[in-house]
């Protein structure tokens, strides 16, 4: 069956025909039958160069031989035990060694689960009720962070989804990214704030980069006002280098959440932080967190292989940045100032200047982006199908792939 036929059948079986809203491409999404390296192969017989990479996890590309071998070896031993495994210790040691802010960590099954647990932990440790997030920042699909962007920092949070109770999100305030003044005003006014959660580099509407010293100022403000800082590095962790954004920008959060790359392409979430905070987690402490698939042996095998490979070959990051510069330099000159990149993440914004926050990102010309995206797909390049999603490249993208991507950008613009 071709993609159009598969989608017609899917709409009868799955709400909206897809398992995640971002996949709802109009008039129908393409269906992938296999993937290897930098390429996707669709049910329609097309081969696409992939700059979505599962929305970030596949920094080593599809079906990477090192990760594949680790998964195959684990499959022979079984794939679910319901017990602790030595692999938990192995990957924990890597995560802790790479992040000076992390003394202990806990494995879960998704980024959403990691941020949900991190917020609960912050509340349990501090004894406070409220949290702050960045306006337009995405921290998963759980109730406490599904707050409508634009509802403001000084007003009651407004749910961004049916089924979310207003009494829950009233404990979630928002401030704009790259705005320390709003953060200072809020934390000085409200003394019941447990934590400030932010992506150090905004990924779900970006990348949007921090202004010079913004993150250091955020750390200073939160420390001075006894507010825990949660760095959500589910997207940018291991994407910007070993240690992620917190190492790159020189900040030490109280709690960190990771996912995506750290699982080698299999489902994972991780939350970790200072020992005194993490020892509040059950069974060591009173903050409950549990999950049947937490610390899954297959995921740990894939994560160990992927993270281990990156740690052994740190020069990878320089090559990835060089490849993104090649793409940028291929653009017609008037577009180069609108191209944003960091590490192996990049995006072209259809607005006059790169955005500094969510409101500015929303000013982008989405119709122009849609036309560009369709042209790129026709040229054989798969980009995430929204102006507000980050593009990625991998170690599997060859020089020829980069030339093809660069040429398509220039031509399609």
Cβ contact 229:257 at 8 Å: no
Q: What is the CB neighbour count within 10 angstroms for residue 405?
A: 26
CATH code at position 269: 3.40.640.10
Rg (C-alpha) for the chain, rounded Å, is: 21
Task: Assess whether 70 and 194 both reside in one domain.
Answer: yes
What is the percent of the chain with per-residue pLDDT over 90, rounded to a whole number?
Answer: 91
d(C-alpha 401, C-alpha 407), whole Å: 10
- Coil vs helix vs strand at 208: strand
Task: Assess whether 354 and 227 both reside in one domain.
Answer: no
d(C-alpha 270, C-alpha 341), whole Å: 25
Burial of 73 (0-12, 13-18, 19+ CB in 10 A): exposed
d(C-alpha 205, C-alpha 372), whole Å: 17
Task: Assess whether 144 and 70 both reside in one domain.
Answer: yes
346: its two tokens: 């990049």
Domain of 122 in residue numbering reads as 66-312
30-61 pLDDT tens trace:
999 999 999 999 999 999 999 999 999 999 99
Task: Assess whether 95 and 78 both reside in one domain.
Answer: yes
69: its two tokens: 């071998």
Total of domains in the chain: 2
Q: Which domain-ending residue is among 312, 343, 358? A: 312
Q: Which domain-ending residue is among 283, 312, 341? A: 312
62-84 pLDDT tens trace:
999 999 999 999 999 999 999 99
What is the value of pTM for the model shown?
0.95
389-411 pLDDT tens trace:
999 999 999 999 999 999 999 99
Task: Assess whether 247 and 259 both reside in one domain.
Answer: yes
The secondary element (H helix, E strand) that includes residue 255 is: strand 255-259
Task: Assess whether 59 and 70 both reside in one domain.
Answer: no
Q: Which domain-ending residue is among 295, 312, 329? A: 312
253-291 pLDDT tens trace:
999 999 999 999 999 999 999 999 999 999 999 999 999
Task: Assess whether 295 and 318 both reside in one domain.
Answer: no
Task: Assess whether 225 and 357 both reside in one domain.
Answer: no
Task: Assess whether 287 and 180 both reside in one domain.
Answer: yes
């Amino acid at each position: 069956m071709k993609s159009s036929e598969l989608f017609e059948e899917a709409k009868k079986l799955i709400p909206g025909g897809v398992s995640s809203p971002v996949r709802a491409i109009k008039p129908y999404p393409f269906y992938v039958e296999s993937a290897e390296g930098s390429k996707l192969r669709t049910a329609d017989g097309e081969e696409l160069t992939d700059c979505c990479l599962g929305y970030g996890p596949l920094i080593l590309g599809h079906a990477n031989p090192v990760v594949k071998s680790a998964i195959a070896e684990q499959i022979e031993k079984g794939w679910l035990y319901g017990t602790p495994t030595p692999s938990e210790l192995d990957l924990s040691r890597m995560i802790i060694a790479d992040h000076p802010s992390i003394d202990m960590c806990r494995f879960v099954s998704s980024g959403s689960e990691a941020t949900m647990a991190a917020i609960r932990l912050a509340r349990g440790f501090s004894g406070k009720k409220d949290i702050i997030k960045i306006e337009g920042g995405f921290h998963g699909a759980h109730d406490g962070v599904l707050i409508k962007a634009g509802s403001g920092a000084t007003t009651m949070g407004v749910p961004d989804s049916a089924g979310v109770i207003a009494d829950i999100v009233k404990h979630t305030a928002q401030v704009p990214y790259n705005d320390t003044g709003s953060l200072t005003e809020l934390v000085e006014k409200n003394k019941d704030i447990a934590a400030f959660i932010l992506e150090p580099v905004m990924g779900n509407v970006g990348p949007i980069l921090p202004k010079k010293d913004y993150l250091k100022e955020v750390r200073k403000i939160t420390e001075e006002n006894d507010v825990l800082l949660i760095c959500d590095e589910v997207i940018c962790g291991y994407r910007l280098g070993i240690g992620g954004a917190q190492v790159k920008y020189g900040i030490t959060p109280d709690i960190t959440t990771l996912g995506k790359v750290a699982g080698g392409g299999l489902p994972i979430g991780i939350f970790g932080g200072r020992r005194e905070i993490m020892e509040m987690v059950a069974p060591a402490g009173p903050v409950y967190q549990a999950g049947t698939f937490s610390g899954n042996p297959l995921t740990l095998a894939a994560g160990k292989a992927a993270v281990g490979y990156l740690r052994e070959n740190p020069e990878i990051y320089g090559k990835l940045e060089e490849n993104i510069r090649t793409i940028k330099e291929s653009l017609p000159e008037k577009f180069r100032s609108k191209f944003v990149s960091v590490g192996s993440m990049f995006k072209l914004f259809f607005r006059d200047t790169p955005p500094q926050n969510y409101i500015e990102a929303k000013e982008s010309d989405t119709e122009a982006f849609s036309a560009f995206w369709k042209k790129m797909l026709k040229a054989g390049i798969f980009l995430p199908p929204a102006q507000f999603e980050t593009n990625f490249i991998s170690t599997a993208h060859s020089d020829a792939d980069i030339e093809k991507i660069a040429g398509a950008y220039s031509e399609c613009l």
